[in-house]
Amino acid sequence: MQVTMTVNGVEVTREIEGRLLLVHFLRDVLGLTGTHWGCDTSNCGTCVVWLDGEPVKSCTVLAAMAGGHQVRTVEDLADGAELDPVQQGFMQCHGLQCGFCTPGMMMTARALLDRNPDPTEAEIREAISGQICRCTGYATIVRSVRWAAVHEAAAAARVTETTESPDAGEIADAGQPAGSVA
């Protein structure tokens, strides 16, 4: 059968078997190997991608079911050479050891931060509860997500401050002559 979907912003059409799982379509057909395949039973969560903006375990979705939909993988988190804050957080706080669960964890974390820009530790743990990490004990993953949340908030504040701060002409127009000291 033929399937067409948008993957990471690019429309793709391929001829596939009806029983092909989305994880295998991404990895084997499209060559997007950032999405890992761990269990085929939806237990581990290493294969999490977004389907129409919602995290899903791609080992539980047939590629045919994704036809006509938007799929986003870990390869799409970075903006060119600029890493997503979640990716930066995983680097800064050592949120990975072997790296096998990392793509799924990052996709889940990005979805959480898009919904809730300031999650508590408990909210982060709940969001990643459907995923298994056999190496880290989750503490560094939680710290990585918090790092991303804090740094995104700080970056947003800097942008707001820059766009809202008055320039020298506005200060002079506010009652003080330019160059005078109040």
Domain ranges of the chain: 2-76, 85-164
Can you list the positions of beta strands (E) in the chain? 2-7, 10-15, 48-51, 54-57, 70-72
86 forms beta bridges with: none
- Closest by CA to 142, choosing from 75, 182, 94, is 94
> 85-164 adopts what CATH topology?
DNA polymerase; domain 1 (1.10.150)
pTM of the predicted protein model = 0.84
Q: Name the CATH superfamily housing domain 2-76.
A: Beta-grasp domain (3.10.20.30)
Q: Is the sign of the CA dihedral 56, 62, 65, 66 positive or negative?
A: positive
Residue 171, pLDDT above cutoff 80: no
Whole-number pLDDT of residue 167: 54
Residue 163 pLDDT class (50, 70, 90 cuts)? low
